[in-house]
């Protein structure tokens, strides 16, 4: 059972995308309280993206609008827990490079959404 199972299960009972993201991130912050590895961050990121794509697929809007909703969730997750990736001695560098890492994470997530879509649509 991975680090993302708790946040994903907690978000299952929430209704609506915004509430699901909020609950997921609240639980992710709890599990990330003592720090995160890059692998754990990636697992949480993928779990959030998958959940958001599943919910967004049910909305009668364009695909680009759905993608923007998912990417917004990714940005909120990054803003909420990415700081837990960085040891204290690297904090001055992190402050300087954080915006670039955020942009990179969102770009990677944008491509990841395209990879997740066939998985989600194949289940439906």
pTM of the model: 0.85
16: left (phi over 0), alpha (psi -120 to 50) or beta: left
Q: Rg of the Cα trace of the chain?
A: 14
d(Cα 122, Cα 7) in Å, to the nearest integer? Answer: 24
**Burial class of 102 by CB neighbour count within 10 A (0 to 12, 13 to 18, 19+):** middle
Q: Give the Cα separation of 36 and 51 in Å (integer).
A: 21
Range of the domain at 108: 5-123
Stated as kind and residue range, the H or E segment containing 87 is none
Residue 8 banded pLDDT, cuts 50, 70, 90? low
53-104 residue pLDDT tens: 888 877 787 888 889 989 999 999 999 999 999 999 999 999 999 999 999 9
Q: How many domains are there within the chain? A: 1
């Amino acid at each position: 059972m991975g680090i993302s199972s708790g946040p994903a299960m907690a978000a299952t009972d929430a209704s609506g995308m915004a509430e699901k993201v909020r609950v997921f991130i609240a639980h992710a912050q709890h599990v990330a309280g003592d720090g995160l590895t890059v692998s754990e961050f990636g697992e949480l990121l993928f779990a959030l993206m998958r959940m958001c794509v599943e919910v967004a697929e049910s909305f009668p809007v364009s695909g680009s609008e759905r993608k923007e909703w998912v990417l917004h969730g990714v940005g909120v997750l990054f803003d909420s827990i990415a700081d837990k990736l960085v040891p204290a001695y690297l904090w001055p560098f992190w402050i300087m490079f954080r915006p670039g890492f955020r942009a990179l994470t969102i770009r990677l997530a944008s491509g990841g959404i395209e990879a997740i879509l066939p998985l989600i649509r194949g289940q439906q």
